[in-house]
A and B are shown apart, each in its own frame.
Chain A
Amino acid sequence: MLVTGKGGVGKTTVAAALGLKAAARGLRTIVCEVAEQERLATLFGQAPDGYRERELGQGLFGISVDPERAKAEWLQYQLKSGTLAGLLGGSRIFQYLTAAAPGLTELVTIGKVWELAQLQRKTPKSAPYDLVIVDAPATGHGMAMLTAPRTFSEVARVGPIHRQAGIIHRFLADPAATGVVTVALPEEMPVNETLDLGRWLQRDMGKGIDRIVVNQVLPERFSSEEAERLEAADSSAAVRAALTEYRRARIQRSQLRRLRRATDAPVSTLPFLFAPDFGPDQLQALARKL
């Protein structure tokens, strides 16, 4: 399950909350971070620990995929020999070529995600997962990651890259194997980007968005009649804050309606949390709402 969406909408949070939910239902689940940052561990009150499958909770695991490590793993698997892989990985020409080929990072990253999702793991002594949740990059780069296997499979025409990239592409395109969750905010631009993503997915992968999660939805505290009374009242910080809340909530509702009208995908919402910080408690609260 790939979780993507515009930058700053809470992809990591939603991926983690989905992970909690899946694990609670008895699925052995792993949440993958794919950028250089490690925010997941912090959400679970743990110290970041890099490229290692580690337990975050009951039946829930996490990993931060490092492309360099993923590349080394892929080579080793490919050549079935640590010595040859070491030779190649350490070779100057190979370094030049792989650093030069943009898109290879995306390919080995999504390749590692694919590996985690296999019942027969390539990584020695590792147990299979029922569900792999990917905290994917923002919309445009997320799409680049999804389409990287097909690009490489087409460039390579024949040979092992062609074959493997093709297998990974088919796995990602298969709606029974891979789902896409898009996270949005009830604001104009995140809604636009969600709709764009739906079109790109259809065009490049031949599939739709499986679910849209709209994050940070404000409560509807004040009715329009109450807002009128507040408008008429003497202005104070409290009244101004209430009217701001009323206006923002109303704009959010109209964006939410626009999204629902323009998409076939099911839409869920998560509430805005008025909390000084975001930690394990807030995460649990959101998981319960999903």
Chain B
Amino acid sequence: MNRILARKEVCVCAGSGGVGKTTTSAAIAAGMARRGKKVAVLTIDPAKRLANSLGLPELGNEERRVPGDFGDGELWAMMLDAKRTFDELIEWHAPDPETRDAVLGNRIYQELSNAVAGSQEYMAMEKLHELHQEGRYDLLVLDTPPTRNALDFLDAPRRLSTFIDSRSLQLFTMPGRVGLRVLGRGTGVVFSVMKRATGIDLLQDLSEFFRSFGTMSAGFRERAEHVNALLADSRTAFVLVTSPAPDAVTEAEFFHHRLLDQGLPFAGVVVNRMHPLAANSDTALPGSLGDELRRKVLRNLEDYRVLAERDKASLDRLRSILGRKPMITVPELDDDVHDLAGLERMNEYLFGVS
């Protein structure tokens, strides 16, 4: 991992749910901190898993220093508060206090920023960008939502651009039907049909929202472009996290494909929860166990051999798509990893025994 992340400033951990992504992100961050870096780990997961992983009672929208001995390095962690990040952005971009208040007070804005899925992904990208701009950390480690939503997450900057694209906003910022005419014939019909389909009130709120939002669109678009550029930068590393379960491997393959497709810097794979394959010669059992226990022990070993063989087939599948990129395997640990000691145990595998 040290080699993968040498000279990197951003590490994005991606993969499907339940593969230990949050824990892996925290472990990578702790491991790099222990190697003298000042590291911040960000989670955008709706559930407060990272807080658990780091043994912290809660994480706010601000980075918090994780207590512990990291030598010359430092470990910081934060759990993203999407609503607060969104509000901060509005405050930052608004040209004047009136516009700021108009947007923050708009009902559409409040509902969207509060309750709606997807805004979390938008805002994670923003926060990542902000922290990177500030340059206070040597390395930022980003935990991401499960792959099914990872499409959203990779698309977030682009979707944000579309959202605030000034061409669509022009419609709403021009008074009355003049704005509609800009888009050509038929637009009036579209609007009257839309009225029937949605209800006029919604449109009025929307247009009011877009009108005040419109003054900020250029700033937002520029930022979205910067975020895109940061993700594609050679200082960024995408690390795929998976388990050897066949479903998870299929999702990892799918995600790998997408990363390459979008020209994003894929750096390697971490396979968690591996069942090691025991050598055949290593199954001799002392007679002292008695017949019944011996039988149970052998039966258990047989069951685990089935899993180990399944896992090996998964690794072969992954290796065939990886090319020269590294693959790191971490065995299934006896206990859930939920504290710094657990992360350290995991790091024996992620970083190699030092």
Contact = CB atoms under 8 A, between A and B. Distances in A.
Most central of A96, A143, A190, A234 by chain B CB within 10 Å: A96
A102 B168 contact: no
Mostly, the A contact residues are helix
A45 to B, nearest CB: 15
A52 interface: no
Given A158-B199, A189-B49, A221-B300, A102 B118 contact: yes
B201 A159 contact: yes
Interface stretch (B68-76, B89-97, B226-234, B281-289): B281-289
Contact of B336 (A137, A139, A148, A189): A189
B111 A154 contact: yes
A35 interface: yes
Nearest 9 interchain pairs by C-beta:
A7-B17, A8-B18, A159-B199, A140-B46, A237-B278, A144-B117, A103-B116, A102-B118, A274-B303
A147 B116 CA distance: 9
B326 to A, nearest CB: 23
A239 B290 CA distance: 13
Interface in B181-208: 183, 186-187, 189-191, 193-194, 196-202, 205-206
Interface stretch (A16-24, A56-64, A206-214, A243-251): A243-251
DSSP majority for the B interface? Answer: helix
Interface size class on chain A is 35 or more
A193 B48 CA distance: 8
A239 B194 CA distance: 69
A36 B191 CA distance: 31
Nearest to A35: B148
B187 A93 contact: yes
Nearest to A84: B193
Contact of B162 (A78, A100, A238, A251): A100
Interface of B: 16-19, 22, 45-49, 52, 107-108, 111-112, 115-120, 122, 145-146, 148-149, 151, 159, 162-163, 165, 168, 171, 183, 186-187, 189-191, 193-194, 196-202, 205-206, 243, 246-248, 251, 278-279, 282-286, 288-290, 293, 296-301, 303-304, 306-307, 309-310, 313, 332, 334-336, 338
Interface string A72-105: 0001001100001001100111101101111101
Interface of A: 6-9, 35-37, 39, 75, 78-79, 84, 87-88, 91-94, 96-97, 99-103, 105-106, 137-141, 143-145, 147-148, 151, 154-162, 185, 187-190, 192-193, 196, 221-222, 226, 229-230, 233-234, 236-239, 241-242, 244-245, 247-248, 251, 274-278
